[in-house]
């Protein structure tokens, strides 16, 4: 396909000023219609006579691939009949049934972009079966209806600053659609599947920041290739085990919903789950074996800012192991839960007393901001233990009886890159060594 270079009819002749008399002369003297592959029209102020004149001129543009029409209520048949027309950009609030019926003349139309749409006859989908891309911008629709199932060639469906109250589940089973983004549309309801549906190629669904109160019935049926499900910022209270168990989802994100019970079947029955995100919910308890299940599946579970009071010892140990390290995260992340907050308060008090003791004894003294030197302290007692990944045993004899004698941690003011280095000595074999790290290497 040729690269689209949008040409404006206003550059050819002033149709908006209704200079129809001069139109033929200007076209003959200034432009070769065969070279034009894009037209942009504003027909809102044209008289009936001007529209007729326009319709008689359009057929000259046999190579036009893209047409943009502002504030249109009727699309001239000559535009819809252009043999090379692949993309149509429209600004129209309430297209008529007659206007929609004209789309059956578009034999190669692949992409439609609708602006400011307020209603759309369901027959639209019947007349555009070869459509591959459908965009809605700044539009408010009551629903995406069941008849969308007729768009069997659709590969991309996008919404920009739209409001849509109801969506048919048929949209998720379009056979060539691989991803669909339905974020922030104000969706209240997803209607169940209707009629005979085809198995979908859909790999990702994003329903975040809508007003769904329950998990849509039948949403996940006939979606064998689905890998990612995002339903952030809704009002979901529970997950349907019968829809999710046994599937191959890799990521499920239910951040900021109203879940009160941890859905343990996700880790037990979802085969390839690697990220399960439940931040900002109301979960109070997690299973005793959650760490073992997550480790077995190689899954990271995000549970920040819930209401968790107690955790198992293996979860607690894993959190301690990763405390203060930017990466990797703990297998079960429980920051900002009641348990974690209490633990932090206790540890901060204990650690402060330890540092005061180290300074008094001269084993670890801060000589500059982020820089410490002394006779040596254990790695787990060093003030920078949450910043630096200290080695835990001697590199020569593997003894754990090692002491950190010098350590420095800095962040570059301009790039934000992290740098650190430290020295240690082994009390068993006498080995002395150092280690360093630079984030940009």
Q: Which residues contact residue 110 at a Cβ distance below 8 angstroms, ignoring those fewer than 6 apart?
A: 86, 87, 130, 131, 132, 133
Residue 346: its pLDDT value, please? 58
Q: Which residues pair with 137 in a beta bridge?
A: 115, 160
Mark whether 345 and 254 lie in a shared domain: yes
| Whether residue 312 sits in one domain with residue 253 | yes
CA–CA distances in Å: residue 264 to residues 239, 287, 333: 10, 7, 16
174 is a domain residue: no
359-386 pLDDT tens trace? 777 777 777 777 888 888 899 888 888 8
In a shared domain, residues 243 and 355? yes
> Could you tell me if 296 and 332 lie in one domain?
yes
- The pLDDT value recorded for residue 14 is 33
My answer on whether 352 and 384 are in the same domain is no
Whether residue 422 has a cis bond before it, omega within 30° of 0: no
- Torsion angle (degrees, nearest 10) of CA 239, 244, 249, 252: 0
Regarding whether 355 and 263 lie in a shared domain, the answer is yes
Within a domain: 165: no
d(CA 254, CA 230): 7
For residues 243 and 330, state if they share a domain.
yes
Residue 287: inside a domain, yes or no? yes
- pLDDT value at position 256? 95
Domain assignment present for 10: no
Asked if the structure places residue 126 within a domain, the reply is no
| Boundary of a domain, candidates 321, 344, 360 | 360
Tell me the CA distances in angstroms from 120 to 97, 134, 145, 184, 274, one per residue in order. 9, 13, 10, 20, 40
> What pLDDT does residue 338 have?
86
Residue 379 lies in a domain: yes
The CA–CA distances, whole Å, from 346 to 198, 297, 378, 435 equal 57, 32, 20, 31
Q: Give the pLDDT confidence score for residue 109 in this predicted structure.
A: 92
Q: Are 214 and 236 in contact (CB under 8 A)?
A: yes
Please check whether residues 294 and 385 belong to one and the same domain: no
- Burial of residue 309 (number of CB atoms within 10 Å: 0-12, 13-18, 19+): exposed
Nearest residue to 259 via CA among 318, 304, 306: 306
Which domain does 308 fall in, by range?
237-360
Instruction: Annotate 367-385 with three-state secondary structure.
Output: EECCEEEEEEECHHHCCCC
In a domain, residue 330? The reply is: yes
Tens of pLDDT along the chain (441 residues) come to: 333 333 333 333 333 332 222 223 223 434 567 777 777 776 666 667 767 777 777 788 787 788 888 777 777 788 888 898 899 999 989 988 988 998 988 889 999 999 999 999 888 999 998 999 999 999 999 888 888 889 999 998 888 889 999 998 888 888 888 888 898 999 998 887 665 556 678 889 999 999 999 888 777 877 888 899 999 999 999 998 988 888 889 999 999 999 999 999 999 999 899 999 999 999 999 999 999 999 999 999 999 999 998 899 999 888 888 776 666 788 999 888 888 776 666 565 656 666 667 777 777 777 777 788 888 889 988 888 888 889 989 989 999 899 999 999 887 766 667 888 999 999 889 899 999 888 765
Residue count of the chain, please give it: 441
Q: How many domains in the chain? A: 2
Over residues 322-365, the pLDDT tens digits come to: 776 666 788 999 888 888 776 666 565 656 666 667 777 777 77
Percent of the chain topping pLDDT 90 = 32
In terms of domains, do 416 and 341 share one? no
pLDDT of residue 192: 78
The pLDDT tens digits for 168-209 are 888 888 888 888 889 899 999 888 766 555 667 888 999 999
Residue 335 shares a structural domain with residue 289: yes
My answer on whether 345 and 268 are in the same domain is: yes
Q: Sign of dihedral through CA atoms 306, 312, 318, 322?
A: positive
Phi and psi at residue 21, to the nearest 5°: -60, -40
Alpha-carbon separation of residue 242 from 146, 192, 219 (angstroms): 24, 15, 11
Do 275 and 354 lie in one domain? The reply is yes
Domain boundary, last residue among 360, 387, 409: 360
What integer pLDDT is reported at residue 43 of this predicted model? 65
> Looking at the domain assignment, is residue 283 inside a domain?
yes
Among the three residues 360, 385, 402, which one is the final residue of a domain in this structure?
A: 360
In Å, what is the CA distance from 340 to each residue of 75, 243, 305, 327? 63, 33, 10, 19
Q: What gap in Å lies between CA 159 and CA 12, rounded to an integer?
A: 33
């Amino acid at each position: 396909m040729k690269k689209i270079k949008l040409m404006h009819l206003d550059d050819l002749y002033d149709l908006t000023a209704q200079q129809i008399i001069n139109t033929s002369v200007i076209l003959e003297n200034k432009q070769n219609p065969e070279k034009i592959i894009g037209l942009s029209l504003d027909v809102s102020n044209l008289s009936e006579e001007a529209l007729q004149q326009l319709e008689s001129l359009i057929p000259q543009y046999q190579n036009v691939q893209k047409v943009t029409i502002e504030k249109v209520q009727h699309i001239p048949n000559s535009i819809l009949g252009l043999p090379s027309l692949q993309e149509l950009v429209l600004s129209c609030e309430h297209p008529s049934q007659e206007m929609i019926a004209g789309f059956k003349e578009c034999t190669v139309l692949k992409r439609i972009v609708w602006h400011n749409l307020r209603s759309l006859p369901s027959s639209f989908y019947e007349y555009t079966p070869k459509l591959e891309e459908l965009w809605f911008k700044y539009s408010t629709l009551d629903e995406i209806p069941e008849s969308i199932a007729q768009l069997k060639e659709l590969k991309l469906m996008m919404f920009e600053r739209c409001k849509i109250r109801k969506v048919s589940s048929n949209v998720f089973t379009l056979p060539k659609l691989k991803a669909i983004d339905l974020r922030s549309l104000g969706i209240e309801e997803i209607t169940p599947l209707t009629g005979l549906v085809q198995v979908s190629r859909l790999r990702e669904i994003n329903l975040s920041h809508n007003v769904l109160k329950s998990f849509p019935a039948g949403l996940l049926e006939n979606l064998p290739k689905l890998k990612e499900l995002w339903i952030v910022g809704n009002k979901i209270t529970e997950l349907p085990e019968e829809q999710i168990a046994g599937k191959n989802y890799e990521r499920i994100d239910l951040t900021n919903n109203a879940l009160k019970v941890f859905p343990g079947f996700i880790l037990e029955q979802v085969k390839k789950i690697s990220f399960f995100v439940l931040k900002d919910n109301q979960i109070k308890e997690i299973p005793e074996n959650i760490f073992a299940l997550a480790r077995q599946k190689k899954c990271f579970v995000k549970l920040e800012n819930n209401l968790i009071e107690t955790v198992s010892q293996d979860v607690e140990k894993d959190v301690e192991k990763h405390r203060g390290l930017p990466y990797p995260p703990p297998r079960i992340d429980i920051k900002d839960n009641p348990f974690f907050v209490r633990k932090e308060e206790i540890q901060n008090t204990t650690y402060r007393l330890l540092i005061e003791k180290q300074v008094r004894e001269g084993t670890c003294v801060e000589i500059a901001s982020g820089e410490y030197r002394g006779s040596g302290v254990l790695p787990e007692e060093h003030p920078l233990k949450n910043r630096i990944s200290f080695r835990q045993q001697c590199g020569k004899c593997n003894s754990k009886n090692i002491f950190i004698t010098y350590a420095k941690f800095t962040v570059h003011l301009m790039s934000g890159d992290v740098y650190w280095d430290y020295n240690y000595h082994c009390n068993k074999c006498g080995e002395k060594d150092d280690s360093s790290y630079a984030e940009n290497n």
